[in-house]
């Protein structure tokens, strides 16, 4: 059950919203998640800036205009996935310090899910009518960690419209995305 919850929350955070060294950049929603890695090498490491996000927005413009608008406001996406760690205890102190810095820096905890040995935390920074940053931290069974930061101007009205439509993942083939048997 957690894996489906984990997948849903991760995809929702990444796609619906545009998808730790704390510095002055945290004021605009950008949060350096790289230092949380503690020198570990992620299995997945994505770091997209405004040009790539604009390209993604354009690719969705006719199929899903609301998603295109949300993606167009995103200035950056950073995603790091760590698997088969054996033990995430080495990351726990850095994550705890990051949480303290987020809360002390004007971020709010938007979501927390605790189930067995899994934990999902989502922090948001808001400015006026926009969400300007999101930090997602997922810890699974002491073995896997997902860290993500999305920053820019995300209109929560559009995000809500996308989520409520039930078409958030329409035209996106996650199962076949990395399937070499399709001749990609």
Q: Is residue 148 part of a domain?
A: yes
pLDDT of residue 134: 93
The CA dihedral of 56, 57, 62, 63, to the nearest 10 degrees, is: 60
Q: Is residue 51 part of a domain?
A: yes
Q: Is residue 26 part of a domain?
A: yes
Q: From residue 184, how far is each of 43, 175, 176, 179 by CA, in Å?
A: 21, 13, 10, 8
Q: Is residue 182 part of a domain?
A: no
- What pLDDT tens digit does each residue of the chain (184 aa) get? 455 554 544 444 443 333 322 233 334 899 998 878 877 889 999 999 999 999 989 998 888 888 888 889 999 999 999 888 876 666 778 888 899 999 999 999 999 999 888 889 999 999 888 899 999 999 887 688 899 999 999 888 887 887 787 665 555 444 544 445 545 4
Per-residue tokens: 157: 């009205």
Structural domains counted in the chain: 1
Tell me which residue range forms the domain holding 122: 2-168
Q: Is residue 146 part of a domain?
A: yes
How far apart CA 27 and CA 131 sit, in angstroms, is 12
Q: Is residue 164 part of a domain?
A: yes
Contact 140, 5 (CB under 8 A): no
pLDDT of residue 112: 92
pLDDT of residue 164: 80
Cα angle, residue 177 at apex, residues 120 and 48 outer, rounded to 5°: 60
Q: Is residue 181 part of a domain?
A: no
How far apart CA 139 and CA 121 sit, in angstroms, is 9
Q: Is residue 175 part of a domain?
A: no
State which H helix or E strand residue 69 sits in. helix 65-73
**Residue entry with tokens 């950049």:** 25
pLDDT of residue 103: 93
């Amino acid at each position: 059950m957690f894996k489906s919850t984990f997948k849903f929350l991760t995809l929702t955070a990444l796609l619906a919203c545009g998808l730790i060294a704390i510095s002055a950049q945290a004021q605009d929603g950008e949060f350096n998640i790289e230092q949380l890695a503690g020198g570990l090498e992620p299995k997945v490491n994505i770091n997209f800036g405004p040009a790539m996000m604009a390209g993604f927005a354009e690719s969705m413009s006719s199929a899903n205009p609301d998603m295109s608008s949300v993606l167009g406001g995103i200035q950056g996406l950073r995603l790091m996935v760590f698997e088969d760690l054996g033990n995430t205890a080495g990351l726990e102190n850095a994550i705890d310090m990051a949480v303290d810095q987020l809360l002390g820096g004007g971020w709010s905890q938007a979501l927390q899910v605790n189930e067995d040995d899994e934990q999902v935390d989502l922090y948001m920074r808001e400015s006026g009518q926009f969400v300007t940053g999101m930090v997602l931290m997922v810890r699974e069974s002491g073995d896997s960690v997902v860290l993500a930061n999305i920053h820019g101007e995300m209109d929560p009205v559009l995000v809500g419209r996308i989520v409520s439509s039930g078409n958030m993942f329409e035209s996106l083939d996650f199962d076949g995305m990395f399937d070499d048997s399709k001749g990609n």
